[in-house]
């Protein structure tokens, strides 16, 4: 049955309206993205500071803080769990968290007729890389040192990146160069390559400034943990006893091995028959000559 066209008209209009709304939403999302990218570029090139940066302790200076601690704890697992919880509670991030057991020595000793006692000495260790809000770095470091039973070393660094940040921002905010026109010795391709290279350089400076801002807001905390040696004791089967044959089988194998050795010796002697004949002839000639000498005397 054919559907009248005036029944299909509302459906077509509704579909077109939905499509137009979807496209309008996509355009708005693209505009929002473009605005956010412009804001990011402006933040990377900003040279405005809310405070006087001539003071070394000015809050507006771009100071990058890092911490590095290696210490012994009572339990590596508990210390790692506590640190990860503390970092997440202050809106930080666990960039890397690795726990492992470093084997020191493994020894097997007799335990029973068919088993061994395996003793393995190992050291539990952990390596963490944490990104902590700069304002919370001291409290996180204090939390770790409070759990430590022995501190191998603790290093705190506060590096000022203000001048590097200003250098990149001022270069990007410099006056626009005059329009370049091709001359006799240049080409349109060379000018295009120059513009591309300049754009790449500006982008690299912006990315470098964004990395500085990221490091200013979030300090990097590197942690190495270890605890006293632990012993892992296991009772395992003795592989030599398990793979060793019974007495009857070993006896038959020994007899067979003896016959094989005797046969190999016999074959070897047979293969040397020319030398044996020469040896016998030599003995006979020697005895004959010896008898003649004795008879002459």
Mean pLDDT computed over 214-229 = 94
Domain ranges of the chain: 1-45, 63-234
1: which 2 tokens? 């049955």
Helix H or strand E encompassing 107? strand 93-112
| pLDDT tens digits along 136-148 | 999 999 999 999 9
- Percentage of the chain modeled with pLDDT above 90: 34
Give per-residue pLDDT as tens, 101-147. 999 999 988 888 788 899 999 999 999 999 999 999 999 999 999 99
What the block records as the tokens of 18 is: 């939905």
User: Quick one: pLDDT at residue 82?
Assistant: 95
Cα–Cα distance for residue pair 129/144, rounded to 1 Å = 13
Pick from 52, 225, 37: nearest CA to 129 = 225
Non-local (6+) Cβ contacts of 71 within 8 A are: 144, 145, 148, 149, 150, 151, 152, 154, 224, 225
pLDDT at residue 69 greater than cutoff 90? yes
- Is the pTM higher than 0.75? The answer reads no
Q: How many CA atoms lie within 13 A of 36 on its CB side?
A: 6
Note the pLDDT tens digit of each residue in 142-192. Answer: 999 999 999 999 999 998 888 887 887 777 776 666 555 555 556 666 667
pLDDT at 264: 87
Q: What are the tens digits of pLDDT across the range 192-201?
A: 776 777 777 7
């Amino acid at each position: 049955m054919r559907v009248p066209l005036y029944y299909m008209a509302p459906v077509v209009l509704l579909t077109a309206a939905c499509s137009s709304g979807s496209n309008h939403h996509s355009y708005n999302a693209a505009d929002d993205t473009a605005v956010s990218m412009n804001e990011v570029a402006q933040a990377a090139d900003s040279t405005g500071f809310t405070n006087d940066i001539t003071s070394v302790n000015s809050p507006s200076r771009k100071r990058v803080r890092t911490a590095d601690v290696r210490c012994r704890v009572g339990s590596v697992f508990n210390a790692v769990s506590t640190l990860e919880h503390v970092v997440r509670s202050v809106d930080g991030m666990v960039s890397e968290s690795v726990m492992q057991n470093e084997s020191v020595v493994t020894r097997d000793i007799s335990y029973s007729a068919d088993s061994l006692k395996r003793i393995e000495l190992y050291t539990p260790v952990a390596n963490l890389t944490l990104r902590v809000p700069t304002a919370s770095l001291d409290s996180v470091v204090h939390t770790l040192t409070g759990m430590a039973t022995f501190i191998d070393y603790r290093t705190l660094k506060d590096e000022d990146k203000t001048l590097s940040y200003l250098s990149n921002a001022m270069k990007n905010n410099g006056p626009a160069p005059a329009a370049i026109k091709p001359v006799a010795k240049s080409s349109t391709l060379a000018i295009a390559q120059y513009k591309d290279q300049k754009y790449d350089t500006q982008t690299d400076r912006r990315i470098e400034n964004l990395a500085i801002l990221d490091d200013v807001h979030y300090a990097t905390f590197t942690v190495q943990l270890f605890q006293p040696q632990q012993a892992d004791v296991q009772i395992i089967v003795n592989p030599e006893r398990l793979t060793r044959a019974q007495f009857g089988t070993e006896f038959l194998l020994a007899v067979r091995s003896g016959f094989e050795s005797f046969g190999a010796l016999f074959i070897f002697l047979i293969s040397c028959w020319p030398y044996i004949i020469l040896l016998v002839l030599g003995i006979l000639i020697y005895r004959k000559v010896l008898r003649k000498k004795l008879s002459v005397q």
